[in-house]
Structure 1
Amino acid sequence: MILSVKNVTKSYGNLHVLKAVNLACKAGEICGLLGANGAGKTTLFKIILGLIQPDSGTVTLNVKGVKPIGGIIEKPALYEYLNARENLRLFCKIQGLKLSDSELELKLKEVGLPVDRHDPVRNFSMGMKQRLAIAIAMLNHPKCLILDEPFSGLDPLGITALRGLITDLAEKEGLAIIISSHIIEELSKICNMLYVIKDGSIIKSGPTQELIVHNTTSYSFSAPDIKNARVLKGYEVQFKGNSASVQLKAEEVPKLIQKLQEEQIYITSCVPELNMDKLFDYSKV
């Protein structure tokens, strides 16, 4: 295990921000931290990065090296009047690292940034700034990477590109990566493990797809003429165009699809509809 967080607690006066939080992430694994704004995600990340101290509990990094962990908190901290290469060079100096121009160019290429742009970073899109911030976080080869709301402010293409970069870093570099977000759709596509945080407590955790299945109460089926399906009269259904939102359990899905095919209604997509109220319900752990 690269990172282990055990019983971490943090309060500010009477405000209990974190309550006995436990979390772990191993090499090559992407762990998601799902929670609403104010749930304690950023505070936990600051403690993991050593920026603030917990009241109690421990954070253990089983890594040797100059820089065991890197991260981005809240938003990329860049020198906007400098270009990408100059930002990298400055952060190298801060970290006591000397890289040649060719090595700096390689760092830019590794995160998918153009090497022929020399204009200030303030002209970059948010997605490009996130990529540059990841390149800076990766200086000195950390084995653990912390990303706080990395998809915030990105358009769909930017989200897809950044998701691919993060996946590559985990798979090819063997990094332990922890991502916080309030967007379950993005975490479900990228994370091996998911931790759900509410009011400073981890209320649910486990393999991402298992949590999604356990907290899904309906599925959206798409097919031409699905409104005419006789079998759906036995279910609680909401129709919208060529889609039907059907309340049923995961194990009932194959049987329903088979019955629809018997009526010559062929499903083009079947999408689980996560019940967020159930996912964030303390009583259903």
Structure 2
Amino acid sequence: MKVKNIYKSYGNLQVLQGISMHCEPGEIVGLLGANGAGKTTLFKIIFGLVQPDSGTVTLPQHYAKPLGGIIEKPGLYEYLSAAENIRLFAGLQGINTTKEFIAECLLQVGLDIQRKDPVNRFSMGMKQRLAIAIALLNQPAVLVLDEPFNGLDPVGVTALRDLILELCEKKKLAIILSSHITEELAKCCHRLYVLKGGKMIHSGPTQDILSTHTVGYALYGKGISKAKTLQNYSFKVRGQMVWVAIGSDKISKLLQDLLTEGINIESCIPDYSMKELFEI
């Protein structure tokens, strides 16, 4: 899928200004931006729900359903069960359903095929999974997910992220994923686009973009607060965690020096500067 030079305005408000991006089969592309950056408007243009002022969207050909996805929030019939939602949406797309087909749709997103209760009793994570199952009906080439981690607890975020990675690997989908949560995009996206005020200010391999804007690392490990190696750096102690002001180009040496000192680092989490990342 390719988006080329998209412009969109509402009156005097320029929502999108010359946006271009692409996503290939078997690739997860992240769209990072604060609320109001233009992410949802771009997705609506991709789905043909909004007409751009100029620019083009090129979708994969020879697919019964080039696109599937969720924009803003899952659009489900919450008084129906998961299976009934699958049956209804499949019928709208001209798909004949059987019990086996519906069970397969639910199982591929990790939902219990035995549940008969209405969707309004589901957690947000379960609703997201059901919406993805519906988006995958008719086997689309591209899956678009707009802020899928919103409203999820940490367990739900991890489970949904694992599902997205699995779909990309097994089905070779092209997946476009938007979020304002940098850490989640960092964990699953091959490439990243950064949107600010309707302009694309960064694009490229995810780790390349984020490492350039890494200002420090949170290190967890027994006895780390007493490590002599840290005296060579600017750091702050917070219980069993130490935050160290250090760039991505120097973290490997720090970890090696700590290991030499006998400090076993259990986790090393990068800290990105949002201010620098969103500077033009």
- Which category describes the TM-score, using the shorter chain as reference length? over 0.9
**Match for residue 50 of structure 1 among 48, 51, 60:** 48
Residue in structure 1 matched with residue 67 of structure 2 by the alignment: 69
Residue in structure 2 matched with residue 256 of structure 1 by the alignment: 254
Which residues of structure 2 form unaligned runs of 5+? none
- Once the 2 structures are TM-superposed, how far is the Cα of residue 119 of structure 1 from its aligned partner? 1.5
Change (3 A) 1:257 1:164: closer
Cα distance in 1 for residues equivalent to 2:238 and 2:138: 52
Q: Which moved more, 1:171-180 or 1:243-252?
A: 243-252
Q: Does 1:80 align with 2:95?
A: no
Cα distance in 1 for residues equivalent to 2:181 and 2:267: 22
So what's the TM-score if we normalise by structure 1?
0.94
Cα displacement string for residues 32-90 of structure 1 (whole angstroms, at most 9, x for unaligned residues): 11111111000000001111111011100123122111111101101111111111111
Q: Does 1:226 align with 2:243?
A: no
- Once the 2 structures are TM-superposed, how far is the Cα of residue 262 of structure 1 from its aligned partner? 4.2
Q: Does 1:270 align with 2:268?
A: yes
Cα distance in 1 for residues equivalent to 2:46 and 2:185: 20
Indicate conservation of the 8 Å contact 2:60/2:141, yes or no: no
Cα distance in 1 for residues equivalent to 2:79 and 2:226: 61
RMSD of the alignment, in Å?
1.4
Cα displacement string for residues 120-155 of structure 1 (whole angstroms, at most 9, x for unaligned residues): 111111111111111111111101010011111111
Cα distance in 1 for residues equivalent to 2:50 and 2:200: 20
Change (3 A) 1:113 1:223: closer
Q: Does 1:214 align with 2:212?
A: yes
Indicate conservation of the 8 Å contact 1:63/1:143, yes or no: no
Cα distance in 1 for residues equivalent to 2:164 and 2:80: 25
Residue in structure 2 matched with residue 105 of structure 1 by the alignment: 103
Change (3 A) 1:72 1:235: same
Report the count of equivalent residues. Answer: 280
Percent identity at matched positions?
Answer: 55
Give the residue type in structure 2 aligned to 1:257. Answer: L
Residue in structure 2 matched with residue 172 of structure 1 by the alignment: 170
Cα distance in 2 for residues equivalent to 1:225 and 1:98: 61
Indicate conservation of the 8 Å contact 1:149/1:181, yes or no: yes
Q: Does 1:40 align with 2:38?
A: yes
So what's the TM-score if we normalise by structure 2?
0.95
Cα displacement string for residues 242-263 of structure 1 (whole angstroms, at most 9, x for unaligned residues): 3222222222222223333444
**Match for residue 188 of structure 1 among 186, 189, 193:** 186
Cα distance in 1 for residues equivalent to 2:166 and 2:223: 41
Which residues of structure 1 form unaligned runs of 5+? none
Give the residue type in structure 2 aligned to 1:259. Answer: D
Change (3 A) 1:264 1:113: closer
